[in-house]
Amino acid sequence: MSDSTSASAQLNHLLTACIEASASDLHLAPQIPPMLRIDGVLRPIEGAPILIAAELLEIAALIAPKLPDGPECGSIDGAISGPRQARFRFNLFRRQGNLAIALRRLEETFRSLTELGLPPTLESLCDLRDGLVVVGGPAGAGKSTTLGTLLDRINRTRACHLVTIEDPIEFIHQPIKALVNQRQVGIDAPSFSDALIAALRQDPDVILVGEARDLATIRTAITAAETGHLVFTTAHAGDCVGIVERLISVFPAEEQEGIRRQLCLVLRTAVAQHLLPTGHEEGHARRVVASEVLHVNSAVANLIATGKTTQIYSVMEASGAQGMQTLEHDLARLCVEGKISEQVAAARARNPGVMRDRMKYLWKHSMC
């Protein structure tokens, strides 16, 4: 058996173990047992041999054939298709001079918002004609999955031109009703910003920017939303106000007042989500989504423009009929429905006291 055949068999075995264990991530490093992240907890793969540095190089050559030795320094991203038509996002990186690999398993099919545990009213975002929609949350919270679901619905319902700019491409969208062009940073374009500027000359209706990670990209995304395009993106922020402030804070201080005025006009919705453990036994769903939803109405727009974003929570509390909800409200709902414990909810809440008051309110009205 050749080295490449052996490496292929090893990789296939490890990816299959990840799929069968319903793990979210696979970690490979020399002289350390291969590890799976299952329901947020890392654990070794039973019976899997410990890999040496040379074996990891062979696996890396299969994953990223253009860089068979991995990056000289730093890291590189990409995506591959594995056994059973499963798709994985990978990151090759150096640690103590040796190569290591982290792989994230991606969804094979698109689920509905209800199946994801998100408010079904978010489907209305797919009907917007312009503006900016941002999904936030920590790494591994399912932001890309949420956007994949929304873009799938657009693809099925709108005759439009949909352009995605990703690093790497995570979900493959075969054109259904929409014309879909997916571009990968590093292969199809040098950067998010360059790809986004080019996209504006490609007659797009809807643009997905995988991550609003730098000033140039955020500036162009706001401009795209201003000029009649519907733009979806993600941000690393734990709540909706944090998303707003994250977008503004990357700009120099002297620009922030003007950016606030622009953002209040183009931002349509911010969604923040977290994956939380349920504590249920084997065979049941063991992580659920808690979410916060902010729709930008005139009151919210005014608070963004004037820099009074901390007051946005009060508007959200009073605007449930408009589809808004605070994280405390959703945590309370999940507690009352028995999906998470009060301890888990309190640990995630910004204000545990508010969350517990909301729980009492929901309990009272559920018994009426």
The full set of domains in the chain, from first to last, is: 3-106 (3.30.450.90), 115-139+204-325 (3.40.50.300)
Neighbour tally for 244: CB within 10 Å: 26
- What are 68-83's pLDDT values in tens digits? 666 666 678 888 888 8
> Nearest-CA neighbor of 69 among 59, 81, 79?
59
Residues 6+ apart with CB under 8 A from 282: none
Q: What is the pTM of this model?
A: 0.84
Report pLDDT for 284: 44
Report pLDDT for 21: 93
Report pLDDT for 140: 82
Query: In this model, does residue 170 exceed pLDDT 50?
Result: yes
User: Is 352 buried (19+), middle (13-18) or exposed (0-12) by CB count in 10 A?
Assistant: middle
Residues 6+ apart with CB under 8 A from 181: 161, 162, 163, 164, 202
For the chain, the residue count is: 368
- What are 206-224's pLDDT values in tens digits? 999 998 889 999 999 999 9
SS (H, E, C) 160-213: CEEEEEECCCCCCCCCCCCEEEEEEECCCECCHHHHHHHHCCCCCCEEEECCCC
Which comes out higher in pLDDT, residue 212 or 303? 303
Percent of the chain with pLDDT over 70: 93
Mean pLDDT score of the chain: 91
**Amino acid (one-letter) located at 269:** T
- What are 190-200's pLDDT values in tens digits? 999 999 999 99
How are the residues of the chain apportioned to helix, strand and coil, as percentages rounded to the nearest 5?
40, 25, 35
Query: In this model, does residue 67 exceed pLDDT 80?
Result: no
Query: In this model, does residue 318 exceed pLDDT 60?
Result: yes
DSSP codes joined into one string, 29-82: ETTEEEEEEETTEEEEPTTPPPPPHHHHHHHHHHH-TTSTT--SSSEEEEEEE-
- Residue pair 136/246 in contact (Cβ under 8 Å)? The answer is yes
Query: In this model, does residue 283 exceed pLDDT 50?
Result: no
Mean pLDDT of 89-100: 88
Going by pLDDT thresholds of 50, 70 and 90, the confidence category of residue 368 is low
